[in-house]
Amino acid sequence: MSEIQTWADRFYQAYVFDMDGTIYLGDHLLPGAARLLAELRERELPVRFLSNNPTKNPRQYLEKLARLGIEADLEEIASTVVTTVRWLKRNHPDATVFPIAEAPLVDALVEAGFRVSDDPAEIDVVVASYDRTFDYRKLQIAFDAIWFHRRAVLVATNPDRYCPFPGGRGEPDCAAIIAAVEACTGTKCKEIIGKPNPIMLREALGDLEVDLKDVVMVGDRLSTDIAMAVNAGMSSALPLTGESTWDDVRALDPNHRPTLVLDRVDQLVPRAVWDEHNWQEK
């Protein structure tokens, strides 16, 4: 394990960003995020934005980034709405799907040509997700499709136990839905698409021809963003602007630590380039 770097010494071939705690925090852009992205655009380096949250339409992320002054393209947004649909397309292209999900995921499945059904006798794949409209009816349909008809497999959008809110509150997330379906059917979820599963990276990078070794994953959460990068054998950068601290990094097994730990995300731009641009910390 080499020393952790605190400033990048090169540019990577592509950049995969977590958003909250990395690019912005709540409704505020984090220091240096705008000029970092401008620099990457200038150099025509590909960028992707990841989110485990399947309750938002990808366009909502574009709008939020735009509101904060970051221009992005729809194809650069890889939330679990996008990556789950892509994964299903590749692995269960002809499946009849029952999404335990809110409208953005249901709509994306229909748009991608999937047959969506709540008839347990014809469901091939039950997709558990972060669904604030979850109820007993949905659980019964999943139970019948998986346990009674013995035909459906269970997959899920993301492994998060809860979605954190500002002020320390939160909402039960996909892990609770997975657990409910697993508990009654006695089956195990076959695949959980979101971070830290490297499937998320593969589906996010899509057709980009890059070697994972030359891609950096940038995110503020050790257990998802950084763990995924480690699982995929790629470089990772942890900005200390979100939920992790140096103490958390030191507490980790050296093999699970990030490649870079940054005070601010624009330290992904090498210092020599800061000097060229006369950048100061501000």
**C-alpha span between 56 and 81 (Å, rounded):** 8
Whether residue 54 is preceded by a cis peptide bond, meaning omega within 30 degrees of 0, is no
Q: Which is nearer to Mg ion, 30 or 153 (CB)?
A: 30
We find the least distance from the C-beta atom of residue 38 to Mg ion, in angstroms, to be 21
- Please answer whether residues 103 and 88 qualify as being in contact, where contact means their C-beta atoms are separated by less than 8 angstroms: no
Q: Which is nearer to Mg ion, 157 or 185 (CB)?
A: 157
We find the least distance from the C-beta atom of residue 219 to Mg ion, in angstroms, to be 6
Structure tokens at 267: 């330290």
- Asked if 258 interacts with Mg ion (CB under 5 A), we say no
Q: How many chain residues interact with Mg ion (CB under 5 A)?
A: 5
We find the least distance from the C-beta atom of residue 62 to Mg ion, in angstroms, to be 18
Neighbours of 253 (CB within 10 A): 8
Q: Which is nearer to Mg ion, 50 or 109 (CB)?
A: 50
Contact range with Mg ion by CB under 5 A, out of 33-41, 117-125, 236-244, 252-260: 236-244
Instruction: Return the residues of window 53-112 that contact Mg ion according to CB under 5 A.
Output: none
Q: Which is nearer to Mg ion, 18 or 102 (CB)?
A: 18
We find the least distance from the C-beta atom of residue 19 to Mg ion, in angstroms, to be 7
Q: Which is nearer to Mg ion, 20 or 266 (CB)?
A: 20
Q: Which is nearer to Mg ion, 76 or 220 (CB)?
A: 220
SS3 for 175-242 is HHHHHHHHHHHCCCCCEECCCCCCHHHHHHHCCCCCCHHHEEEECCCHHHHHHHHHHHCCEEEEECCC
We find the least distance from the C-beta atom of residue 31 to Mg ion, in angstroms, to be 16
**C-alpha span between 65 and 142 (Å, rounded):** 36
We find the least distance from the C-beta atom of residue 234 to Mg ion, in angstroms, to be 17
3-state secondary structure of 253: coil
We find the least distance from the C-beta atom of residue 30 to Mg ion, in angstroms, to be 11
Helix (H) or strand (E) holding 81: helix 80-91
**C-alpha span between 79 and 108 (Å, rounded):** 12
Instruction: Return the residues of window 194-233 that contact Mg ion according to CB under 5 A.
Output: 220
Contact range with Mg ion by CB under 5 A, out of 75-83, 114-122, 178-186, 241-249: 241-249
Instruction: Answer positive or negative: Cα dihedral of 182, 201, 134, 170.
Output: positive
Instruction: Return the residues of window 16-35 that contact Mg ion according to CB under 5 A.
Output: 18, 20-21
- Nearest residue to Mg ion, using CB? 21
3-state secondary structure of 50: strand
User: Which residues would be at the binding site for Mg ion (CB under 5 A)?
Assistant: 18, 20-21, 220, 242
